[in-house]
Amino acid sequence: MTGRAEYPARRVLDDAPLLAAATGRPVKHRPVWFMRQAGRSLPEYREIRAGIGMLESCFDPELVCEITMQPVRRHKVDAAILFSDIVVPLKAAGIDLDIVAGVGPVVANPVRTVADVAALPRLVPDEVGAVAQAVRLLTAELGETALIGFAGAPFTLASYLVEGGPSRNHERTKALMHADPKTWHALLGRITDVTIAFLQAQLHAGVDAVQLFDSWAGALSLAEYREFVLPHSERVFAEVESAHVPRIHFGVGTGELLSAMGEAGADVVGVDWRIPLDVAARRVGPGKALQGNLDPAVLFAGWDAVEREVRRICREADAALAAGATGHIFNLGHGVLPDTDPAVLTDVVELVHSL
C-alpha cells in the first residue's frame, strides 16, 4: 500500500492553456495535443529510433527527451506527453515481458493464480530513475509548454498480464474477474501500487499533469467496470491528488462507461470519437473538463473533411461547456496512426487555435 506523497515545488505555468482548460480557468486559445504525437508518423522519430528497441528507448533519458520534444517543435502543440509505454513500470519492476513488433507487449509468464499474484514484484522509484531523469531534462527544455506524465490503468495492465499479451476478447481476464473476484482484486491491488509508484516518480521529477490510459476498458460492461475496475482507478487518482496537478482519465470505446469514469477522481475525462462531446458531458456530469475527440482515421480524408470534423467537434465542445463542462482540450479519440501525414496535424493545431 502506498502512502499519500508530498511533492516538491514544480514549474509555475500560469499561461499554459492546457493546464487552464483542465482546471476550469479561462484560456488564451483552445489547447490541443495528440495522443501518440511522438511516434511513427514523424520522419525524425523513425530516424532516431532506427535499430533501437521500444523498451530500450524508454529507458534512455536523452532519447526520451528528444522524442518527446519532436512534436512540440514541429506542431506547436500545447503539451508534450512523456514518451514511454504503458508496460514500462511492469518491465522496470522485473516482470519478464517484451514489446514484439506487430504484436505488442508479450508477457513470458502470465498471471492467473493466487500464487502468481503473490509473486508479482513491487516497483521502487530507483527502478524508473531513467524515466524521472527524462522528465527533469524535459522540464528544463519545454519552456512554457506543459508536460504530461502517464501510466497505464490497472485494468489494462492486468489484461496484458492475465492474457499474456493483447487480446481481442479478454476471455481469460473476464474469466478470472467473474470466477475468482478475490484473486482479481488482489491482482488489481498489486498493479495499482505499481501504477501509483510510477506516477509518483514522474510527479516528483516535475510533470505538470498526468493521464491514466485504460486502453481496454471498452471491453467491459458498466456493471463490470463499477465492480471490478472503478475502485482501483479511484485509488490511483486519490493517491496523486496531493500533487495538485490536473489528472486526465482516458479509455477507448468507453462511451457507456463515462458516468462511472467521471466518478473516478480525474479532473479531465478523455472521450473517443464514437460519442459527441456534448453527449459525453451529460454522461460524465458537471464539474469536469473534456478531452477529445477527432477520429484518427479522418486525418486521411483530405483537408476539407478534416476541417469540417474539427469545426464540428469544437462546436460540440462549446455546447458541452454551456451544459456544465469546465474546459475542452482538443485531441484525437485515440492515438495518431503511423501513416498519418504530419503536415495535417500541424494544420489541425493551427485551426484549433483559431476556434
State the catalytic residues: 36, 40, 49, 85, 160
Instruction: Count, in order, helices (H) and strands (E) of the chain.
Output: 16, 9
Q: Based on the number of CB atoms within 10 Å of its own CB, is 207 exposed (0-12), middle (13-18) or buried (19 or more)?
A: buried
**Residue for cell digits 462511472?**
260
Can you state the angle between helices 171-179 and 181-205, rounded to 10 degrees?
A: 110
Q: Is 45 annotated as a binding residue?
A: no
The whole-angstrom separation of Cα 322 and Cα 291 is: 15
Q: Is 40 annotated as a binding residue?
A: yes
Question: How many other CB atoms are there within 10 angstroms of residue 79's CB atom?
Answer: 26
Which residues are within 8 A (CB) of 211 and not within 5 positions of it... i.e. 6 or more apart?
81, 148, 149, 150, 247, 248, 249, 250, 270
The whole-angstrom separation of Cα 288 and Cα 310 is: 21
Question: What is the distance, to the nearest Å, from the Cα of residue 255 to the centroid of all Cα atoms in its chain?
Answer: 17
Residue type, 236: V
Largest Cα separation within the chain, whole Å, is 56
Q: Is 225 annotated as a binding residue?
A: no
Q: Is 39 annotated as a binding residue?
A: yes
Q: Is 7 annotated as a binding residue?
A: no
Give the cell for residue 47. 530516424
Q: Is 11 annotated as a binding residue?
A: no
Nearest to 276 by CA among 211, 343, 207, 323: 323
Q: Is 259 annotated as a binding residue?
A: no
Annotated binding-site positions: 36-40, 85, 160, 215, 334
Annotated binding-site positions for substrate: 36-40, 85, 160, 215, 334
